Amino acid sequence: MKKAQKSTVVEELTASFGRASIALVSEYRGMTAAESTEMRRRLRAVRGEMRVAKNTLVRRAIKGTAYEGLDSKLGGQIGLILSYEDPVALAKTFTGFGPLGDKLKLRAAILDGKALSPEEVQALAKLPSREVIFGQLLGLLNAPATQLVRLLNEPGSYLARVIDAIGKKNGAGTATPAAPTEEAPPASEAPPAAAAPAAEGTSS
């Protein structure tokens, strides 16, 4: 590959990482053309894609970015799986490729600057989808408007905090943080039923 071509690939990868909400590194070998085509189709359906490039070019693209932590996981024939929308939807889709086994073996991932192990990606896949989370947030009639806007605009940060809490609690378990509850007011004063406010984050 000529120098100009390498520079173009690095620029494209850098742009892709700049738009990504989550990035996964997986081994990529022995896949049939049909399996590869189906995998890419399913990734596109959740606003994701797989990129295959030389490790040296990937290292140049991620240097100085939130995804630089993936450097140590590069080597051999790898595939980069990126999501440009919902990290949970991508995690669900990726874990659905389980039957491919070692043909698509996850090494690591980074979400909102936080490194995730394969076990944490499994935990992420078991969280509610972005649409479900948004639906719950929009139903919070008593939540401050600024809190709703912040959570809606920062789904990656919110999910990263959730995963961090999961890892600290039980080593990447699957439980999601319980929403706080409030004491019910007397029947005569009870407002229309609404979901409990979502937690803004988890404490360290």
Q: What is the pLDDT of residue 180?
A: 46
Domain spanning 3-125: CATH superfamily: Ribosomal protein L10, N-terminal RNA-binding domain (3.30.70.1730)
**Which residues of the chain carry a pLDDT beneath 70?**
1, 129-131, 133-204
Contact 109, 51 (CB under 8 A): no
Picking from 101, 117, 100, 97, the residue whose alpha carbon sits closest to that of residue 24 is 117
Q: What is the pLDDT of residue 130?
A: 66
How far apart are the C-alpha atoms of 57 and 175, rounded to whole Å?
38
pTM attached to this predicted model: 0.62
Query: Maximum Cα–Cα distance for the chain, whole Å?
Result: 76
**54-79 per-position pLDDT tens digit:** 889 899 998 888 898 888 888 888 88
Q: What is the pLDDT of residue 82?
A: 92
Instruction: Determine the residue type at 133.
Output: I
Q: What is the pLDDT of residue 190?
A: 46
Q: What is the pLDDT of residue 196?
A: 45
Q: What is the pLDDT of residue 171?
A: 55
Cβ-defined contacts of 153-158 (< 8 Å, 24+): 155/21, 155/86, 155/87, 155/130, 156/21, 156/22, 156/87, 156/111, 156/112, 157/112, 158/133, 158/201
Q: What is the pLDDT of residue 193?
A: 47
**35-55 per-position pLDDT tens digit:** 889 999 999 999 999 988 888
